[in-house]
Structure 1
Amino acid sequence: MKKAELQEFLDEKAALYNQPKFIESDPIQIPHRFEKKEDIEIAGFLVATIAWGNRKSIITNGNRLLDIMGHSPHDFVLHFSEEHTSKLDGFVHRTFNETDLLYFLKALQHIYRNHNGLEAVFSKHATKDSLQPAIHEFKKLFFSLPHLPRSQKHVSDPYKNSAAKRINMFLRWMVRKDTAGVDFGIWDTISPSILSCPLDVHSGTIARKLKLLKRKQNDGKAVTELDLALRSFNAFDPVLYDFALFGLGAFEKF
């Protein structure tokens, strides 16, 4: 398939899946319950953190997170204290448990009280062509409070050659300007042009079938390679094609 034909094919598939109906079966439905910027950010970050495994299970546990936070994520985070820890009892999603959630709430509180929120932290370290350095710096700040080592595995680091799928997905939600209404696009200080595709089994498999990706592992180097390919199709909105790649893999078994 020639490049022009491939771009037309991907544009058609992206348009097919980048629709409000996509929200119904995707974890992005959790932050879509809110209108306040900080509520969207916090709900989005937490549900993206647990976004691996069965999608129904992710959504179920995302709803449980909202219940824990009284459906007011920002207010809950700002006023969280040790007396609220009993609310977390028994929470678990795969290897993310109540101990991890406790630390994540404390770290989010630190970021919103002392660092002007998630957008400010990521935009501070974004470069002109990548958000991967910002993810690395975010992780250092996020785990700057006393914590158990086990919790660190729940935030990936591109500098350790991780694809950082979940956090790249969260950043897509926050940054990408989406006229279809799926992604939020509420972060104006970061350009969608520097977003990276949330590389997973589905998008990686399809990218290789379409010869957009040669590297066999779904790792940080593969993300860089795929970024270059997708930006050659659409320099301003490269992660639009995440909808095409994921949809072809997850829904069409292409």
Structure 2
Amino acid sequence: MTQKELRDFLDSKVSQYNHPRFIESDPIQIPHLFTKKEDIEIAGFLTATIAWGNRKSIIKNAYRMMQMLDNSPYDFVMNHQEFDLQNLEGFVHRTFNNKDFIQFIKSLQHIYTKYNGLEPIFNIYAKSNSLQFAISKLKQHFFETPHLQRTQKHISDPLKNSAAKRINMFLRWMIRQDNCGVDFGIWQNLSPAQLSCPLDVHSGNVARKLGLLNRKQNDAKALLELDIALRQLDSNDPVKYDFALFGLGVFESF
């Protein structure tokens, strides 16, 4: 397959899957419940944090998260009292439990109080061609306040060779302008060209079959290799191909 043939094939799959009906089966449906920027951000961030494992379970537990936050995530983060956090007792998604959930609420309050939100941190630390350094700095700032050591594992660090799939997915949601009603594009000071593909088992396997990726591990080095390949196909919007790789892997067992 020539590069043009590959691009044409993947572009056709982007058109197929980058569509509002994609929302119905994807965790992105959770932030789509909201219209306020901060609600979308927090709902998206929390949903992305638990986005591993069975997709139905992810969506079910993310809905439960929002219910526990009175379906007003930003208001809960900013104005909760200590006794309100008792409402989060009993939450669990795989290894993310109620203690982690409570810590995330406290850390998000710190981020929005001290830095005026998640977006400004990425604006400060973004590189012209990558947001991976900014993800590492977000983790640093997120855990500036007293916290449980165990909770740190729920934010990946690309500088420690993580592909940081979940945060890269969250960033796609916030930054990418897709004109299709799927990704939000509400962080307008950052460019889709800076985004990295959310690399997981499905997208990684498809990328290898298509010759876009050679490295066997799904780590930061593999992510860089995939970034370079996808930027050659579309330098302005490389992560649109996440829809193609994911769709081919999950829905077509490519």
TM norm structure 2 = 0.99
Equivalent residue for 2:193? 193
Q: Which residue matches 2:172?
A: 172
Q: Within 1, Cα distance between the matches of 2:179 and 2:204?
A: 26
Matches within 5 A, 1:238-249: 238-249=238-249
Q: Tell me how far 1:88 sits from its aligned partner.
A: 0.5
Task: Indicate the residue corresponding to 2:236 in structure 1.
Answer: 236
The CA deviation at 1:222 is 0.3
| 2: CA distance, partners of 1:118 / 1:208 | 33
Cα deviation, residue 122, structure 1:
1.3
**More divergent stretch after superposition (75-84 vs 17-26):** 75-84
Partner residue, 2:217: 217
Amino acid in structure 2 at the alignment position of 1:72: S
Q: How far 1:44 moved relative to its partner?
A: 0.1
Q: Give matches, 1:54-93, under 5 Å.
A: 54-93=54-93
Provide the C-alpha distance between the structure 2 equivalents of 1:222 and 1:66, rounded to a whole number of angstroms.
34
Matched with 1:44 is 44
Distance 2:176 2:170 in 1: 10
The Cα shift of 1:123 comes to: 1.3
**Structure 1 residues not aligned, in runs of 5+:** none
Is residue 161–residue 221 contact of structure 1 (8 Å, CA) maintained in 2?
yes
1:182 deviates by 0.5
Match of 1:21 in 2: 21
In the TM superposition, structure 1's runs of 4+ consecutive aligned residues that sit over 3 Å from their partners are none
Other-structure match for 2:131: 131
1:117 aligns with 2:117: yes
Deviation of 1:199 after TM superposition, in Å, equals 0.1
Q: Per-residue deviation at 1:121?
A: 1.1
Q: Report the CA distance between 1:5 and its aligned residue.
A: 0.2
CA deviations 1:160-209 (Å, max 9, x no partner) are 00000000000000000011110000001111101000000000000000
Distance apart, 1:109 and its partner CA: 0.4
Query: What is the Cα deviation at residue 17 of structure 1?
Result: 0.3
Greater mean deviation of Cα atoms: 74-83 or 19-28: 74-83
The alpha carbon displacement at 1:148 in A equals: 1.2
Q: Deviations 1:99-125 (Å, cap 9, x if unpaired)?
A: 001110000001111101011111110
Q: Secondary structure at the match of 2:129?
A: coil
Alignment correspondent of 1:147: 147
Q: Are 1:33 and 2:33 an aligned pair?
A: yes
User: What secondary structure, in the 3-state scheme, does the structure 1 residue paired with 2:128 have?
Assistant: coil
SS at match of 1:159: helix
Q: Matched residues in 1 for 2:79 and 2:119: separation?
A: 20
TM-score, normalized by length of structure 1? 0.99
1:83-103 CA distances to partner (integer Å, 9 max, x unpaired)? 112100100000000000111
**Percent identity over paired residues:** 65
Distance in 2 separating the partners of 1:114 and 1:221: 32
Distance 1:31 1:133 in 2: 25
- Is the 8 Å Cα contact of residues 231 and 238 (structure 1) preserved in structure 2? yes
Matched residues in 2 for 1:236 and 1:86: separation?
45
In structure 2, how many angstroms separate the alpha carbons of the residues matched to 1:104 and 1:66? Answer: 13
The 2-side partners of 1:112 and 1:183 are apart by 22
For 1:83 and 1:149, locate their aligned partners in 2 and report how far apart those are by CA, in whole Å. Answer: 22
Check the 8 A contact 1:175/1:185 in 2, yes or no.
yes
Q: Is the 8 A contact 1:20 1:182 kept in 2?
A: yes
CA distance in 2, matches of 1:205, 1:146: 39
Instruction: Tell me the matched-pair count.
Output: 254
Pairwise CA distance, 1:232: 0.6
Q: Which runs of 5+ in 2 are unaligned?
A: none
Distance, in Å, in 1 between the alignment partners of 2:239 and 2:137 is 22
